[in-house]
Amino acid sequence: MLIILKNIFNTISYIITMEKDTSWEKIYKKRGQVQSKIKQIVKDILEFKKSGNVLDIGCGTGRHSIFLADKGFEVYAGDISETAIKILKGKKKNIHILIFSKENIPFKDNSFDIVIIINVLSHSLIKDIKKSVKEINRVLKKNGIVVISDLSTEDEKFGKGNKIENNSFEKIPGLLDQCVHHFFTKEEILNLFKNYKVLKYYKVKNYFITHNFILEKVD
Ligand SMILES: C[S@@+](CC[C@H](N)C(=O)[O-])C[C@H]1O[C@@H](n2cnc3c(N)ncnc32)[C@H](O)[C@@H]1O
């Protein structure tokens, strides 16, 4: 009973304190560009698509957007952090850059050949993860691909900090204080993307253990 009450309290306080993912905004304000190495799963896109348009959701300061633009894709990059977007705008001109939230993607249905969402889905409550997946499905064309890299329940940080809801924690020692971290099982991601075919999947053990997927929308 006490644990249930504690989880309810943590969820409510998380919703109250969460405002435009302030933790990431603070990080970008303080440190500017945070990550620069290109994830292998993003390089792997070239095995399946050589051209087309790409939407990079939660692009941060744009490491993957810039990589894909340099490979000749038409790239649209968006993030909720104004500072990250400002930094990216200062770096590159041949990318369409805008502020938006993954739960409300400002594009028409069937707009994109490729959607990438790298280390972003985990920073939200399960209801928002589901909303985001619905939005991705809406803007992706049939036979388009979605590229995901995100936290695995096998990571050693899983279970640490305050539990907010199933497999989601905040205040994990060593991680962004105000930020929720949802840890995924492989099956959970496959369940979220039911109408998709797995083109590629592997786990990576780096700073975190992540699931890495390239999925094709089949209907
Ligand atoms: C771990 S960073 C990853 C950045 C980038 N995808 C990369 O791999 O370099 C998470 C990013 O998600 C963004 N983010 C968090 N919640 C978001 C939301 N609801 N909509 C759009 N972006 C969001 C943050 O501002 C941050 O830039």
Contact partners, residue 199, CB within 8 Å, separation at least 6: 48, 145, 214, 215, 216
Please choose, from the candidates 139, 144, 115, 131, the residue with its C-alpha nearest in 3D space to the C-alpha of residue 219. Answer: 144
Q: Please provide the DSSP assignment of 161-218 as one string.
A: SEEEETTEEES-TTS-TT--EEPBPHHHHHHHTTTEEEEEEEEEESSSEEEEEEEEE-
- In short, whether 101's Cβ falls inside 6 Å of ligand 1 is yes
pLDDT for residue 7 is more than 80: no
> Ligand 1 center to residue 38 CA distance, Å?
15
Residue 119 near ligand 1, beta carbon < 6 Å: yes
Which residue puts its alpha carbon closest to atom 26 of ligand 1? 60
Mutate to test the pocket of ligand 1, among 14, 30, 65, 120 (most ligand atoms within 8 A of CB): 120
Q: What is the DSSP string of 141-154?
A: EEEEEEEEEEEBTT
Number of separate domains in the chain: 1
User: Helix, strand, or coil here: 17?
Assistant: helix
Cβ of 60 closer than 6 Å to ligand 1, yes or no, is: yes
Amino acid at 193: F
pLDDT confidence of residue 22: 64
pLDDT per residue as tens digits for the range 101-158 = 999 999 999 999 999 999 999 999 999 999 999 999 999 999 999 999 999 999 999 9
Nearest CA to ligand 1 atom 10: 120
Instruction: Calculate what percentage of the chain has a pLDDT beyond 90.
Output: 79
pLDDT digits (tens, 9 = 90+) for 37-78: 999 999 999 999 999 999 999 999 999 999 999 999 999 999
159: left (phi over 0), alpha (psi -120 to 50) or beta: left
* Per-residue pLDDT tens over the stretch 144-203: 999 999 999 999 999 999 999 999 999 999 887 678 999 999 999 999 999 999 999 999
Pocket of ligand 1, candidates 18, 22, 24, 76: which has the most ligand atoms within 8 Å of its Cβ, to mutate?
A: 24
The CATH number covering residue 25 comes to: 3.40.50.150
Given CA atoms 45, 48, 53, 54 in this order, what sign does their dihedral have? Answer: negative
Residue nearest to atom 4 of ligand 1 (CA): 60
Tell whether the torsion through CA atoms of 26, 31, 33 and 37 is positive or negative.
Answer: negative
Ligand 1 centroid to Cα of residue 130, in Å, is: 16
Q: pTM of the predicted model, to two decimals?
A: 0.91
Mapped onto helix, strand or coil, the DSSP state of residue 80 is coil
What domain range is 161 assigned to?
2-217
122 Cα: distance to centroid of ligand 1 (angstroms): 9
